[in-house]
Amino acid sequence: MGTPAFAVPTLEALIQKGHQVKLVVTQPDKPKGRGQKLAMSPVKEKAMELGLPVAQPASLKTSEFHDLIAEQKADLLVVVAFRILPATLFPLAKFGAVNIHGSLLPKYRGAAPIQWAVAKGETETGVTIFRLDSEIDHGGILAQAKTPIGPDETAGELFERLSVMGRDLLLNTLEDLEADRIAPQEQDHGKASPAPKLKKEDGRLDWTLPAAALHNRIRAFNPYPICYTTEAGSGRVLRIHRTQVLSGNSSSAGMFGVDSEHHPFIGTGEGSLRLVEVQWEGKPRISGRDLVNGLRGAEELRFA
């Protein structure tokens, strides 16, 4: 059970390792792009390529869907980046359901654990395999693997690494489950922290924050929702894809400047941020230097 690209390596690996995937469950096709044509999820695309049966229920709570799962007589439900499963599904598989979660639970429970770990400036994260229960990301832990987060690594880049780590950890965990070598360990619920679903508004930058905090948010919300700021006066929206922290610059918060090497920066509440890759709304991505060239001497800008 899964939908985005994060789940695809796991699906491929289960087939390659000889596990029998009786059914792939994913989200219904959704309108996409300017033409709003229906598009398949990455998991559905891969399942069809592999010749696997696919179910796309609008609701997971119907008796029809429960009957469909029961008919599979599955040993295990494997869930990767999917919806919240009703607990009534768990008894329909011999060993219940396990989930691959993109954090070191109990930290960052919720829909966006990878992004919030980066946004909060974590230097380490990982993946967790755990048994699903009736509460969100709450069940007993079967296995975990850790990895450092690079100082300039984006959430998109970390997604790719963790999807492979999750795949490998799940395969090892399945072997241990089959051999009865592991048992779920209860989480320390007092150390839980939230990772709520992202909204577009999460990308708005507050230039009174320190440069390091803003840099972390810009990394975290790349590729979605992408951080942005508004040019004071014109109201033009500038999307910011990549930055570098400059600790020595003392420009006032939101004030635009250009350094001696022709790199643009914006002042923050503590230090400044060099603009490495940006994008005026409705325009292509450009480098920071190209942004300066396009301003043609009108560098006296302020952002809010």
The DSSP call for residue 147 is: E
Provide the token pair at 140. Answer: 């007993």
Instruction: Show me where the domains of the chain are located.
Output: 5-191, 200-295
Report the pLDDT value the prediction gives residue 35, as an integer from 0 to 100. Answer: 81
Amino acid sitting at position 185 = Q
CB 239, CB 223: distance < 8 Å:
no
Q: What is the pLDDT of residues 38-53, one digit of tens each?
A: 999 999 999 999 999 9
CB 83 within 8 A of CB 27: yes
Q: Which are the contacts of 2, defined by CB distance < 8 A and separation ≥ 6?
A: 8, 10, 11, 25, 26, 43, 79, 80, 81, 82
Mean pLDDT of 207-232: 97
Return the DSSP state at 250: -
Cβ atoms of residues 192 and 109 within 8 Å: yes
Which token pair is 137? 């990301």
Q: Are 263 and 231 in contact (CB under 8 A)?
A: no
d(CA 206, CA 218): 11
**pLDDT recorded at residue 249:** 67
pLDDT of res. 266: 96
Q: Where are the beta strands (DSSP E) in the chain?
A: 24-25, 30-32, 37-39, 54-55, 77-80, 97-101, 124-131, 141-148, 227-230, 237-246, 256-258, 264-267, 272-280, 286-287
pLDDT recorded at residue 297: 59
d(CA 84, CA 102): 15
User: Which tens digits make up the pLDDT trace of 256-283?
Assistant: 999 888 899 999 999 999 999 999 999 9
What's domain 200-295's architecture?
A: Roll (3.10)
- pTM of the full predicted structure? 0.94
Q: What DSSP designation does 150 have?
A: -
104-159 residue pLDDT tens: 999 999 999 999 999 999 999 999 999 999 999 999 999 999 999 999 999 999 99
DSSP-derived secondary structure for 40-86 = --HHHHHHHHTT--EE--S-SSSHHHHHHHHHHT-S-EEEES-PPPP
Architecture of 5-191 per CATH?
A: 3-Layer(aba) Sandwich (3.40)
Instruction: Please list, in sequence order, all residues whose beta carbon lies within 8 angstroms of the beta carbon of residue 91, skipping any fewer than 6 positions away.
Output: none
